[in-house]
Amino acid sequence: MTSPIMPFTYSKHNQIRACLTTEGIRIKSQFQSRNDNDDPDDNDATGCLTCLSNNNKKSSSLAEDQFIIPNGTMIPFGRIISAKYLNKDKTIKSNGVKPIQKNQIHEHTSLLNHKKQNNISSSNDDSLYDDEDEDLDIEDEESSGCEELYIELTFVHPQGKDVVPTSLHLLMDPLPTEANLTSTTDLVSYIIDKSYENVRKDKSILIIINPFGGAGKAMNLFNEKIKPILDSSPFIHYELARTEYYQHAIDIARDMDITKFDTVACCSGDGIPNEVINGFYQRDDRTTVFNQVCVTQLPCGSGNAMSVSCHWTMNPSYSTLCLLKSVESRIDLMCCQQPSYVDKCPRLSFLSQTMGVIAESDINTEFIRWMGPIRFDIGVAFNIFQFKKYPCDLYVKYAAKTKKQLNIHYVQNKSKAQLLFTPATSQLSISNMNNNIPNSQEQFPISDNDLKIKYSIKDPIPSDWEKIDSEVTDNLSIFYTGKMPYMAKDVKFFPAALPADGTIDMVLTDNRTPIHKITPILLSLDKGTHVLEPEVIHSKVLAYRLIPKIENTVISVDGENFPLEPLQVEVIPGLLKTLLRNGSYVDTEFDSMG
């Protein structure tokens, strides 16, 4: 049997008692800030600050700056944005806040003893409220006379489908004695270091907004869901640039001052990130740019594959939190060559290239873009069930030809990535933590040689490339290659894609596949298990050349219409710096499929 979590009313006119834990900051039992009108059994009125879902029902009787918090609430370091002292001498006395009285301590001690004797927990989650730790806190307060520290904590918490920034005034217990801390460790510095462990917290960001993105809602999404979180951080400086014409972001990225910005955040769909990386590629100092500037996406468009793959979310507010908290990592890009533009400048792709059903389903449904992502599903079904075919010649340089070889490649390279980007936080002390960020730029800077193209579309097919069986390519239904696991919110098309394994995932299907076998393939795209079907050819390649043998179709690269002519693509390993939540793509569970 457990007792209910006791809620209390908070406003900035009272202070909350709290203590530091290994996971974050825990709200403690309150003796003076409890409002007599609060109903301790009104658990529906409590808003949990720790979970992703939220059933907060704010009481109409509360003032605008008041809300209900349950005792034992944990504010994890991953949600904390900043902290600062509110009292100059770092003690509660300078603010005239009345210290806790001994009779209150004794009362609380008796309550704890009663709970221990009756095996009662203070929370449904014992990790949020540790009675033994609480007893130690009280003993320190009573016997040692330690004065508490008065801080303002800024963090994000769930509200509806979003996370929103909030500030609390907290009376903090003294910094706990731990093996890696010293008596001179500063509490606020400790909180900030733990909140940005292995993450670069100071960022200067150029935010590029496509005002027409997301059916014209991009600017509203920025103002309502993104800007409040950015403005709540003292470590973030940002400026806005609005695109005014097609491929304007290429010009912005090509001309931007890289001494002023270290991050470009694209408030858009997937088109603007493509333009930014191509603007970088056209610069004379492109090697320096790719070494210094990080590119990420804040999802405000109809297609947000970069955000769902890298930030694990399609929500702009959660993605903004990832902008503040994610690990800088290098990912592969793909270099595209076609006869019509190769002499001027090849083009970079971060997401995908496709011809056939997928390309037509994307490009040819632009007129119903107002329908959102469902337009793509409609297009795929329409083309698949017409049994259309898109004949071509296809030459590839394999990295993993069979599905068995691909599985081995995936497991090996995923393990390498985990070893590379897993933060060794237990080996870092507070004093040197920010100097030991496992930053990919410092570990793996690229050179001019890394940007050189290995294969030219003007040259004959290299001798070590293989031609895919014409029985397949003359009856091609889907040709799709990509570098990120998700192509849309519920389309896990490349579940074996990895950020920096140096390969491109390739998926092919044959239009002669019977309808009863096509249907389960289409229905499993959200799970990514379509690649396990025997009718689906799934491999990893280092480069390929596609030569269309049809005149009435389209080629799409990163969702943009490209010329219908021979296309050659190769990987440029580790070229782009981006932000990955936990240093990896969203987990597709590919290694546990089948």
Per-residue pLDDT at 415: 79
Do the bridges between strand 567-580 and strand 327-337 make them parallel or antiparallel, or are there none, so unpaired? Answer: antiparallel
Residue 559 domain boundaries: 346-567
- Range name among 23-32, 98-107, 304-313, 540-549 with the lowest pLDDT average: 98-107
In terms of domains, do 297 and 211 share one?
yes
- Residue 148's pLDDT band, with cuts at 50, 70 and 90, is low
The more confident residue out of 379 and 581 is 581
Asked if pLDDT for residue 100 goes beyond 70, the answer is no
In 491-566, the DSSP E strands lie at 504-510, 537-548, 555-557, 560-562
Q: Which of 11-20, 396-405, 422-431, 460-469 is predicted with the least confidence, judged by mean pLDDT?
A: 422-431
- How many Cβ atoms from other residues are within 10 Å of residue 587's Cβ? 13
Residue 140 has pLDDT above 90, yes or no: no
**340 within a domain of the structure (yes/no):** no
What CA–CA distance (Å, rounded) separates 242 from 251? 12
Dihedrals phi, psi of 440, to nearest 5 degrees: -65, -30
Specify the DSSP class assigned to residue 93: G
Q: Which of 325, 357, 380 is the last residue of a domain?
A: 325
| Residue 182 shares a structural domain with residue 109 | yes
Contact 570, 335 (CB under 8 A): yes
298 or 415: which leads in pLDDT: 298
Give the strand pairing for 352-356 and 476-482. antiparallel
**Would you say residue 256 lies in a domain?**
yes
According to DSSP, the β-strands at 236-242 and 203-209 are parallel
Give pLDDT, residue 418. 59
User: Is residue 270 among the annotated active site residues?
Assistant: yes
- Alpha carbon 254 to its chain's center: 26
Q: 408-417, 465-474, 559-568: lowest mean pLDDT where? A: 408-417
Give backbone dihedrals phi and psi of 142, rounded to 5 degrees, phi first.
Answer: -80, -40
| Residue 582 near residue 426 (C-beta atoms within 8 A) | no
pLDDT classification of 490: cutoffs 50, 70, 90: confident
pLDDT of residue 201: 94
**Which of 170, 194, 218 finishes a domain?**
194
526/116: higher pLDDT: 526
Q: Find tokens 């919110």 and name the residue.
A: 489
Lowest-pLDDT choice from 2-11, 375-384, 393-402, 452-461? 2-11
Extended strands (E) in 4-93: 7-10, 16-20, 24-27, 67-70, 74-76, 80-85
Q: Are 287 and 317 in contact (CB under 8 A)?
A: no
Would you call 404 helix, strand, or coil by DSSP?
A: helix
Backbone angles phi, psi at 43, to 5 degrees: -70, -20
What CA–CA distances, in Å, run from 205 to 293, 434, 579?
Answer: 10, 20, 13
Residue at 53 is within a domain: yes
What pLDDT does 143 receive?
34
With the CA atoms of 440, 442, 448 and 453 taken in that order, what torsion angle do they form, in degrees rounded to the nearest 10?
A: -10
Please give the pLDDT value at position 139: 35
| Same-domain status, 43 and 181 | yes
Q: Using 50, 70 and 90 to split pLDDT, how confident is the model at 37?
A: very low
CA dihedral 218, 222, 224, 229 (to 10 degrees): 160
- Cβ–Cβ under 8 Å, residues 171 and 90: no
Domain-located, residue 255:
yes
Highest mean pLDDT among 34-48, 104-118, 302-316: 302-316
pLDDT at residue 138 tops 70: no
113 DSSP β-pair partners: none
Which H or E run includes 78? none
Question: Is 558:333 a contact under the CB 8 Å cutoff?
Answer: no
C-alpha 27/C-alpha 21 separation (Å) is: 10
* 41 and 113 assigned to the same domain: yes
Q: Which residue has the tokens 């963090």?
A: 155
Look up the CATH number of the domain holding residue 433.
Answer: 2.60.200.40
Question: Which residues, listed in sequence order, are joined to residue 24 by a DSSP beta bridge?
Answer: 76
Could you tell me if 174 and 185 lie in one domain? yes
In this predicted structure, the answer to whether residue 9 has a pLDDT above a threshold of 80 is no
Beta bridge partners of 299: 268
pLDDT (mean) for 252-265: 97
Q: Same structural domain for residues 278 and 166?
A: no
Tell whether 202 is covered by a domain.
yes
Whole-angstrom distance, CA of residue 485 vs CA of residue 494:
4
Residue 74: inside a domain: yes
Enumerate residues 6+ apart whose C-beta is below 8 A from 278: 250, 253, 347, 348
Q: What is the mean pLDDT of residues 319-325?
A: 97
Return the pLDDT at 178: 56
Residue 368 has pLDDT above 70, yes or no: no
- Assess whether 359 and 479 both reside in one domain: yes
Q: Phi and psi for 541 in degrees, rounded to 5?
A: -130, 155
CA distance 94 to 81: 25
Which pLDDT value is given to residue 520? Answer: 84
Angle at CA 88, nearest 5°, toward 233 and 32? 85
Confidence bin at 377 (pLDDT 50/70/90) = low
**Cα separation, 584 vs 331, whole angstroms:** 10
Tell how strand 162-172 and strand 16-20 pair up.
Answer: parallel
The whole-chain average pLDDT of the chain stands at 79
- The per-residue pLDDT for 383 is 66
Same domain for 69 and 122, yes or no, is: yes
User: Bridge-partner residues for 576, per DSSP?
Assistant: 331
Can you tell me the distance from the alpha carbon of 87 to that of 493, in angstroms, rounded to the nearest whole number? Answer: 54
Express the helix, strand and coil content of the chain in percent, nearest 5 each.
30, 25, 40
User: For 143, which DSSP code?
Assistant: I
- CA–CA gap between residue 148 and residue 78 (Å, rounded): 24
Phi-psi region of 247 (alpha: psi -120 to 50; beta: other; left: phi over 0): left
Based on the domain organization, do 256 and 127 belong to the same domain?
no
- Catalytic hit among 162, 173, 270, 505: 270
Tell me: pLDDT of 223 over 80.
yes
Q: 3-state class of 410 per DSSP? A: helix
| Confidence band, pLDDT 50/70/90 cuts, at residue 426 | very low
Question: Which of 145-149, 167-171, 271-275 bottoms out in mean pLDDT, i.e. has the lowest?
Answer: 145-149
Mean pLDDT of 539-548: 98
| Cβ–Cβ under 8 Å, residues 369 and 362 | no
Alpha-carbon distance of 159 to 154, in angstroms, equals 15
pLDDT at 2 over 60: no
**pLDDT tens-digit profile of 58-79?**
444 545 555 667 778 899 999 9
Share of the chain above pLDDT 90, in %: 57
Residue 126 has pLDDT above 80, yes or no: no
pLDDT surpassing 80 at residue 335: yes
Whether residue 35 has pLDDT greater than 60: no
Q: What angle do CA 47, 51, 52 make, to 5 degrees?
A: 105
Same domain, 40 and 144: yes
**How large is the average pLDDT for residues 346-369?**
78
C-beta of residue 42 within 8 angstroms of C-beta of residue 7: yes
What confidence category does residue 430 fall into, taking pLDDT thresholds of 50, 70 and 90? Answer: very low
Q: What percent of the chain has pLDDT over 70?
A: 69
In this structure, of 119-128, 352-361, 461-470, the range with the lowest mean pLDDT score is 119-128
In this predicted structure, the answer to whether residue 98 has a pLDDT above a threshold of 80 is no
Predicted pLDDT of residue 423: 41
Q: Flag whether pLDDT at 136 surpasses 50.
A: no
On whether residue 575 sits in a domain, the answer given is: no
- How many domains are contained in the chain? 3
109 plus 23 within the same structural domain: yes
1 within domain boundaries: no
Together in a domain, 425 and 444: yes
Of the three residues 165, 194, 223, the one that is the final residue of a domain is: 194
Pair 146, 155: CB distance under 8 Å = no
pTM score above 0.85: no
Q: Is 59 exposed, middle or buried (0-12, 13-18, 19+ CB in 10 A)?
A: middle
Q: Tell me, what CATH number does 234's domain have?
A: 3.40.50.10330
